Structure 1
């Protein structure tokens, strides 16, 4: 699990970004609110939306990577 924070300062598009604790772009401690521990940014953004309706994921630390999952058939 990672610890996530919500920036209290809006970005250039007017959204408040969700960052994990180790992000190189995370705002200083006075300009962020703690969201809690989550498995990924998508889980964290659900809580962030309750705090502020205009939120987005940081493009550096919360990249959404989707990959297909393939399962082998079991030979029975």
Structure 2
């Protein structure tokens, strides 16, 4: 399974069009984001501590569900 970050980058756009696009754009700018991880727990913990750009963890959960559908 490829890392979540690589999957998320497919949603990156010049303008925030929806919550997942905004998440992808901010994650791209976040140099500490666990880019090689495919662990829900590791990424979730990181975002809870450092993801102040993420308005709601439900956005991460939605992106994670898409990731599992695509990569699973």
State if a TM-score over 0.5 links the two structures: no
**Bigger proportion of residues as strand:** 1
Q: Name the TM-score, length of structure 1 as normaliser.
A: 0.38
**Bigger proportion of residues as helix:** 2
Q: Name the TM-score, length of structure 2 as normaliser.
A: 0.39
